[in-house]
Amino acid sequence: MVQAKIIQCGFSTDQIVCNPLIDLYAKNGYVNAAQSIFGELCSLDNVSWVAMISGFCQNGREVEALQLFYEMRELGVFPTPYIFSSVLSACAKVEFYEEGEQVHALVFKYGFSSETFVCNALVTLHSRCGNLISAERIFNGMNSHDRVTYNSLISGLAQHGYSNKAFELFDKMQLSGLKPDCVTVASLLSACASVEALHKGMQLHSYAIKTGISSDIIIEGSLLDLYSKCSDVETALEFFNTTKKENVVLWNVMLVAYGQWGDLSKSFEIFCKMQAAGMRPNQYTYPCILRTCTSSGALDLGEQVHTHIVKTGFDQNVYVCSILIDMYAKHRRLETARDILERLAVEDVVSWTAMIAGYVQQELCAEALRLFEDMRIRGIRSDNIGFSSALSACAGIQALNQGRQLQAQSYVSGYSTDLSVGNSLISLYAKCGRIEEAYLAFEMIQTKGQISWNGLISGFAQSGNHEEAMLVFSWMNHQGLDGNLFTFCSVVSASANMADIKQGKQIHAKMIKTGYDSEIEAGNALISLYAKCGSINDAKIEFLEMHERNKVSWNAMITGLSQNGCGPEALELFEEMQQQGMTPNHVTFVGVLSACSHVGLVSKGLRFLKSMSEEHGIAPKPEHYACVVDILGRAGKLELAKEFIEEMPILPDAMVWRTLLSACAVHKNMEIGEYAGQHLLELEPLDSASYVLLSNIYAVTKKWECRDQVRMMMKERGVKKEPGQSWIEVKNVVHAFFVGDHLHPLSGKIYDFLEELNERLSEIGYIQDRNSLLTDIEQERKDPTAYIHSEKLAITFGLISLSPVLPVRVIKNLRICNDCHNWIKLVSKLSERTLVVRDAYRFHHFEGGRCSCADYW
């Protein structure tokens, strides 16, 4: 009505009349109307600019306020202290700290650095960005302080953990004659809650009661937050019941509190009571209850809340939707999560980032990167979390070049020092095996936390740099830093993959000392450690002593038993797993089928494969088919194995063909071997193992010309054979041996003892198997020591170096041959020692002249 009268009287472009109207509309939330009047003014004075800039700030449109400020400067308009105050407040709210620094410089330039309200805005800006030294310097340089000045600095100190300094300033404020208000006390209560200073918080509660501000909604919310974080649930609930419950914040705090205590039923009860009391939820209510549903795995309740969100019109709220996306993504409902994202009218970076993170969590890294690129194309500027998630996706699929591009983009966007981006870069380079670059990314982080250290350790462990992972763990310990569960699981995994049982047991001892050994994840890692180190009895003990087991626990034990030649036990454990109501998965069946393969259970293995789809609804993967081919191949049923491959519902991969080719080499079947070799070389023309297997088939069938052709093909294609190598640890030093190796410092002693050992073995029936891959002429020309394989040298060294009570443990990178297998069996009988050999396929436990594989490998 007033505006209509102004227009009717011809004052629609008059500054004196319109400036108050701009201010009126802005303060009442009609910022678009204010902007329209502002745009129609013929000339603008300082009051016009102040009204419009402050209007944007008051209505959550801080970026537009900054843009208008820059436009004002380009027009040469002289700024006022009020404009600077509004612009600095806008910078603080949207965390544009670099722009805030630039505005700070302009404050000095124009001589407004002594204005109290400008200085208050500067104190707030520097406090929020964590630059408390600058905030205190500005505070101390002010001629006079008001309540806002004190509140700004107290709030900043409290938010950044300087609670003692905050309380000192609180005392100073009272001595200066200024009476603290609700904002002051709320900030201090927040500081108490963050450090769990309950006693100080209760003193503030008493102060609030004495000064009559305890019933203020800000104070009530802060007090409830204090009691929920520092005390027990009864105390928090008791305080909650003393309030009028007219403030939605109080209900939200209780929802968060029950969520933190993991009490989903109470959290949902509060949510229902809130509705019964007629309290309308806000955009923070739903995330509180949804997070609890997510952490508790209660998707059904989460879906009920989702229905309520739609009914109350919050289904277009970007904050609420980002939490919904996170919930569905973590419960593997990615289609539902994506549907929520695509239905959003506003393209918000938080929601997009939640969806990208959801894909990464479910290991759909390629899809995460496609969505990140789509976000960029749509002009949505990524935040630090978005870059961090995208870099994690690159790490997940080892997309090194794409990761480097994202690193450059994140730096251009101002996140070169961001902790989350830095940690993701560490993980990227470590998982890609880029050791120097991983260390460089690590060194760039100023405050290195457990996530940074774990990124290096787990990344190196996953990229096969196990020794590097152990070095970082040792470095971390020397720095006086304690590892967490993730740290210990990563280094246990590294020890397992190095078959370093001694190091693994030392880490196990640390886990017991810190209490992490009782965690399910720790138990699972330890089972794998002992199984991969050939200490299957220790693995059994760890499994049996676990208070609680999950699917991974059963899978680790079944796989461990299978690898260590305990096939019947593995199958018995599989039956027990099902009896206890645990549903098998893909990994379970790999272990079960491997167990059948290692003990020659052909019919049973085929039944298990059939049961996967028919009884358990699991579609077999290439690794399952490879296991069945192995079962048939080991049993000598090569024709059946060939037919099985040809009838597979999926295309056979290199692993399937390699398994068949390996079986053909064992059973000297050249025809099927050539067939398998042809397919394998088409898939992997640069894999040396394929040529070696095919060459061996020709050699054992005396097809020397064909063998030579394969060797020539390798040479022409630049393919080099991986040399056989064995490792043994003696007195904390790992010793490596090659075939016919004379490089070891004790090689003379080793060969002398080996010669003596062979003489004694020949007396109990050992005859060296020279069914060689060489012709008679080649054998005559060859040095006899060339037949001494690396595992013989490693075991001989172990026998002369280790205490008789210790088992000799050797790792070999290739499959153990027949001759070495027979030799080691007899050595175990002659020496009365336990010998454990881990070859490329399985463990062999030799004792008393027998092997755990029962000569079936």
Residue 802 carries which DSSP code?
S
CA distances (Å), 677 to each of 549, 650, 662, 696, in order?
A: 43, 19, 10, 11
Tokens of 557: 């034990």
Q: Are 357 and 389 in contact (CB under 8 A)?
A: yes
Strand order, beta sheet including 850-851: 733-738, 725-730, 808-812, 835-838, 843-847, 850-851
**Spatial separation of the C-alpha atoms in residues 787 and 751, rounded to whole Å:** 13
**Whole-angstrom Cα distance, residue 554 to residue 524?**
9
Cα-based angle 35, 38, 44 (whole degrees, multiple of 5): 150
Domain ranges of the chain: 245-299+307-333, 365-410, 452-548, 552-620, 641-722, 726-851
Which residue type occupies 433?
G
Question: What's the confidence (pLDDT) of residue 81?
Answer: 86
Instruction: Give CA separation, 744 vs 738, 747, 751, 792, 809, in Å.
Output: 10, 5, 11, 14, 18
Beta strands of 686-812 (E only): which ranges? 725-730, 733-738, 808-812
Strands 835-838 and 850-851: unpaired
**Sign of the CA dihedral 299, 303, 309, 310?**
positive
Check residue 395 and give its pLDDT.
95
Amino acid at 664: C
Gap between the Cα atoms of 86 and 93, Å rounded = 11
Burial state string for 633-656 with b = 16 or more CB within 10 A and e = fewer than 16: bbbebbebbbebbeeeeeebbbbb
pLDDT at 6: 52
Sign of CA dihedral 735, 741, 743, 744: positive
Write the CB contacts of 414 (distance below 8 Å, at least 6 apart in sequence).
98
Tokens 């054979």 identify what position? 721
Q: Which residues contact 97 (CB under 8 A, 6 or more apart)?
A: 91, 125, 129, 131
Please name the residues in contact with 397: beta carbons below 8 A apart, sequence gap of 6 or more.
365, 366
**Torsion angle (degrees, nearest 10) of CA 98, 103, 106, 111:** -130
Residue reference for tokens 């006086």: 480
Buried residues in 137-153 as b, exposed as e (16+ CB within 10 A) = ebbeebeebeebbbbbb
| Vertex 112 angle, CA 110 and 114, to 5° | 145
Q: What is residue 231's predicted lDDT score, i.e. its pLDDT?
A: 67
- Across the strands, what pairs with 735? 728
Under DSSP, is residue 534 helix (H, G, I), strand (E, B) or coil? coil
CA quadruple 249, 250, 256, 260: dihedral positive or negative?
positive
pTM higher than 0.85: no
- How many CB atoms are located within 10 Å of the residue 88 CB? 27
The dihedral over CA atoms of 50, 55, 57, 60, expressed in degrees to the nearest 10, equals: -170
Contact 298, 264 (CB under 8 A): yes
Q: Could you report the average pLDDT of every consecutive run of 10 residues in the chain (857 residues)?
A: 51 63 78 81 79 84 85 84 86 81 86 85 84 86 87 85 84 88 88 83 88 86 85 78 81 84 83 85 89 88 92 90 93 94 88 94 94 93 94 95 95 90 96 95 91 95 93 92 92 91 92 92 95 92 94 96 90 95 94 90 94 94 94 93 95 93 89 93 89 87 88 90 88 89 92 93 83 49 66 95 92 87 93 91 88 77
Residues in contact with 431: Cβ distance below 8 Å, sequence separation at least 6, in sequence order: 395, 396, 398, 459, 462, 463
HSE-up (13 A, CA, CB side) for residue 227: 21
The amino acid at residue 648 is M
Q: Give the Cα-Cα-Cα angle 146, 147, 151 (nearest 5 degrees).
A: 125
What backbone phi and psi angles, to 5 degrees, belong to 764? -110, 20
Burial (CB < 10 A; 0-12, 13-18, 19+), residue 593, is buried
